[in-house]
Amino acid sequence: MGRSEELAAAVEGLGKRKRRNYPKDLQQQIADHVREQRAAGVSLKSISEALGVRPTLLRRWEVDRVGAFRRVELSRAAERRDPWVLHAPCGVCVEGLTLDDLVTVLRGLA
């Protein structure tokens, strides 16, 4: 039995009530699992369906667990006039940014 199946079984064990009372430990385990799966490129909708938990609830636990900020990486682009490249964890890469452009993008993401 994989991690998704274990967590789904734990969720199912809470019953079919509309408003389930999720123990904090289970919330943390699910939030960690969501973070790992999202880093691997799995959509929140797919994770939600596999676990039997609404995507909005998963998102809230994910933000509560790791904070609203996501890690991004900055690097200098080789042989470019505008040397900044922004790498986001979901695979998005924005190249050719000036420092002012970079600040504008990061502020927009905040």
Of 34, 40, 86, which is closest to residue 64 (Cα–Cα)?
Answer: 34
| Mean pLDDT calculated for residue range 18-37 | 86
The answer, yes or no, to whether residue 104 has pLDDT greater than 70, is: yes
What average pLDDT does range 9-26 have in this prediction?
84
52 and 31 inside one domain: yes
pLDDT digits (tens, 9 = 90+) for 40-90: 888 889 999 999 998 888 888 876 765 555 666 777 656 556 578 887 776
Whole-structure pTM value: 0.57
Write down the H helix ranges in the chain.
3-12, 24-39, 44-51, 55-66, 99-109
Residues 23 and 44 in one domain: yes
Q: Are residues 7 and 56 in the same domain?
A: yes
Give the containing element (helix H, strand E) for 86: strand 84-87
CA distance 9 to 109: 36
Residue 91 belongs to domain spanning: 73-109
pLDDT at 79: 59
Q: Give how many domains the chain has, as a whole number.
A: 2
pLDDT-derived band of residue 16, with 50, 70 and 90 as boundaries? confident
Give residues with Cβ within 8 angstroms of 14, minimum separation 6. Answer: 20, 21, 22
